[in-house]
């Protein structure tokens, strides 16, 4: 599956770990505890795993 450029709204991230647990090759936790993209790209389905909608694709 093709990966797309993603951004995470740190203000919306609740640090639940859904993205990190589901897509460990795409996301990790920052030193502050919020999720960040590892490479800046992620699978298309990764947006749907976030329960608060903090992950989105760049236009």
- Domain spans, the chain: 3-57
CATH topology of domain 3-57: Alpha-Beta Plaits (3.30.70)
- Contact assessment for residue 26 and residue 38, using Cβ atoms and an 8 Å cutoff: yes
Distance between CA atoms of 2 and 51, rounded to whole angstroms? 22
* pLDDT, tens digit, 9 for 90 and up, residues 31-46: 999 999 999 999 888 8
* pLDDT, tens digit, 9 for 90 and up, residues 16-36: 999 999 999 999 999 999 999
* Per-residue pLDDT, 29: 96
Neighbours of 57 (CB within 10 A): 13
* Per-residue pLDDT, 21: 96
- Model's pTM, two decimal places? 0.87
């Amino acid at each position: 599956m093709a990966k797309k450029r993603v951004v995470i709204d740190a203000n919306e991230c609740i640090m639940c770990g859904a993205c990190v647990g589901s897509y460990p090759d795409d996301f990790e936790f920052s030193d502050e505890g919020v999720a960040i993209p590892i490479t800046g790209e992620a699978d298309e389905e990764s947006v749907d795993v976030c329960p608060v909608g903090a992950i989105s694709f760049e236009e």
